[in-house]
Structure 1
Amino acid sequence: MRKEKVISNYSPWSDYELSTLAGRVLKAMQDTNAIANFPTPNPALDVLETLVNNYIAQHEIASRRGSALEISQKNESREALLVGLRNLAHYVNEIANGQLSMLLSTGLVLVAQPSSSQLPLVPQRLRLRDGRVSGMMHIDMTPVKGAWDYEIAIGGSINEQGEIQWNQTLMTTSSRGNFVMELTPGTQYYVRVRARNGKGTGDWSEPVSLIAR
């Protein structure tokens, strides 16, 4: 069986996916369990915090139809974050040496193990984008091998405990060309997806978000 490890290259991920991942990794690495497991991370926690916060801030600015300068600044902060996450993943993989609990404590994504006739893998590269009209949102993802269909959950609010309220569900057989209508402009919507095949239903993806136009 192949040794467990986390992904080191997140460059194929969309800005929305990367922003969500970065915030999760920073929070996880600041937890006492992760600090005990990884006492000398590369990059250091204060450097990681700067990389993450700078990218998230630049991404939010650029996503509101930013100028060429703002988009360029976002891209530069993205590249710096990708380098930081790659270094962190290499450090984590070396220290954890395949120990699953340690890897999971970082918030980084595990490399998928090869499988045959098993539950479908978690859908990757979930992407949200504005539709052609106000209140419309397109939803795409990378196809999951062997998946029969996909369940898409949509939430438009967060409760007092900071949990997303999933109040709408869609079923689709396609990983592309999915869309929802009649969203409230200016509202931030969250989306997650899971795949299904003859063995059952896989795990949910990490949620991504988009402010409806």
Structure 2
Amino acid sequence: MATKAKALIGFARMKDDELMVAATTIIGAMTTNPHFTTPTPALDDVQGLLDDFTAKLAAARKRGSPEDTAIKDESKEPLTLALQQLAYYVNSVAQGKLSVLLSSGFATTAPATASLVPLPVQGLKASDGRQSGQVRIDFLAQKRVLLYEYSYRKVTVPTQAWGERMVTTSSRGNIIAPLEVGEWYEFRVRAVNTQGPGDWSQMATILVR
């Protein structure tokens, strides 16, 4: 007898970024989904746990202290537990029906099609913002992506490490500030879908005014 398809529950071993993307995808797919009218736990509760984890992940990356990392790890556990409980609910409702499972946003044991990571983002352009010390970045949008990650660094010799990755859902009008006036900066961006991030784009460089 064929094995029924199921929503996968292996969230504990996910990297931080992967978990954040997976949770965002699931919440978005299940919101107002007619197949799942009474999610357990409630989607608002899962969103609250995701917001808490996202904030503590950002703090840990910004400061990098052992305390911040421990706080971030502690906030990850209740989020993974909530997603596992939500997967059990999805499996109980879907009863192995693949179309219903896929509508939930969960990865499944029997995907209908093989999805690929996004292609590299094209058309990245850096331009002056409206105020001194601001840079605007724009690029070509891609279909079926969840979000975009971007980062920047000052052009120095030796080469400076890339800064903290930031997230946007828009391909246009992203303002980065404050930056040092009279310094050259370079920027890169990549798209993220349910399979993870694509390759980084070619860099765009600008002198901050």
Contact 1:26–1:52 under 8 Å retained in 2: no
Where 2:120 maps in the other structure, the secondary structure is strand
In the alignment, which residue of structure 1 is the partner of 2:8?
A: 7
CA gap of 1:51–1:158, structure 2 versus 1, over 3 A, is farther
Structure 1's unaligned 5+ residue stretches are 114-118, 124-150, 167-181, 194-203
CA gap of 1:66–1:183, structure 2 versus 1, over 3 A, is closer
Give the greater-gyration-radius structure (CA).
2
Aligned-residue offset at 1:9: 2.0
Aligned-residue offset at 1:51: 1.0
* Counterpart pick for 1:87 among 85, 88, 91: 85
Contact 2:118–2:197 under 8 Å retained in 1: no
CA gap of 1:162–1:62, structure 2 versus 1, over 3 A, is farther
Where 1:37 maps in the other structure, the secondary structure is coil
CA gap of 1:158–1:46, structure 2 versus 1, over 3 A, is farther
In the alignment, which residue of structure 2 is the partner of 1:205?
A: 195
Aligned-residue offset at 1:82: 0.5
Contact 1:154–1:192 under 8 Å retained in 2: no
Count of residue correspondences: 150
Aligned-residue offset at 1:6: 0.8
Alpha-carbon displacement from aligned partner over 1:112-159 (angstroms, at most 9, x marks no partner): 57xxxxx9x668xxxxxxxxxxxxxxxxxxxxxxxxxxx884337665
What amino acid maps onto 1:206 in structure 2? Answer: G
Aligned-residue offset at 1:109: 0.8
Q: Give yes or no for the alignment of 1:154 onto 2:120.
A: yes
User: How far apart, in 2, do the equivalents of 1:22 and 1:11 lie?
Assistant: 12
Aligned-residue offset at 1:2: 1.5
CA gap of 1:103–1:190, structure 2 versus 1, over 3 A, is same
Contact 2:7–2:101 under 8 Å retained in 1: yes
TM superposition score normalised by structure 2: 0.58
Runs of 4 or more, structure 1, over 2 Å off, are 63-66, 151-166, 182-193, 204-210
* Structure 1 vs Structure 2 CA RMSD: 3.8
User: How far apart, in 1, do the equivalents of 2:102 and 2:140 lie?
Assistant: 25
What amino acid maps onto 1:57 in structure 2? Answer: A
User: 1:42-121, aligned counterparts within 5 Å?
Assistant: 42-112=40-110
User: How far apart, in 1, do the equivalents of 2:23 and 2:59 lie?
Assistant: 17
What amino acid maps onto 1:154 in structure 2? Answer: P
What amino acid maps onto 1:63 in structure 2? Answer: R
In the alignment, which residue of structure 2 is the partner of 1:189?
A: 189
Structure 2's unaligned 5+ residue stretches are 125-137, 149-158, 164-186, 204-209
TM superposition score normalised by structure 1: 0.57
CA gap of 1:44–1:16, structure 2 versus 1, over 3 A, is same
User: How far apart, in 1, do the equivalents of 2:197 and 2:76 lie?
Assistant: 19
User: How far apart, in 2, do the equivalents of 1:38 and 1:209 lie?
Assistant: 34
Where 2:196 maps in the other structure, the secondary structure is coil
In the alignment, which residue of structure 2 is the partner of 1:19?
A: 20
Aligned-residue offset at 1:83: 0.2
Contact 1:10–1:18 under 8 Å retained in 2: yes
